[in-house]
Amino acid sequence: MSSEGFLKEMQTIGEKFLLKLQKLPKADPVEIVSFCVVLLFIVTVLVLMIIACSCCCYSCCSCDGRPDRRRRKIQVRPTAH
């Protein structure tokens, strides 16, 4: 997908979202609740992705961007008798 197609698709989704928000005060209670559930799901997924990415980045690199050498795994070999 080209960048122009992606931007057009995002604009279409944004317009649909704004139209849905504008119609929300006149909507049925069931529609309001379902919209809130979907919105909560999207926000939860985004927050979990941000947490996962930040934890992964923190475990690979220290705060200054250098790799943390202390967390390197050491292989343990069995001793011969």
Query: What is the pLDDT at residue 59?
Result: 64
User: What is the arithmetic mean of pLDDT over 73-80?
Assistant: 74
pLDDT digits (tens, 9 = 90+) for 28-69: 999 889 989 998 999 999 999 998 888 777 666 655 555 555
Strands (E), 30-80: none
Query: What is the pLDDT at residue 23?
Result: 87
Domain boundaries, the chain: 27-51
Place of tokens 């997924």: 45
Q: Which amino acid is at 16?
A: K
Identify which of 54, 63, 17, 10 has the alpha carbon closest to the alpha carbon of residue 38. Answer: 17
> Does residue 14 register a pLDDT over 80?
yes
Q: Which amino acid is at 12?
A: T
Query: What is the pLDDT at residue 41?
Result: 95
Are 72 and 79 in contact, with CB atoms under 8 Å apart? Answer: no
Q: How far apart are CA 57 and CA 64, in angstroms?
A: 11
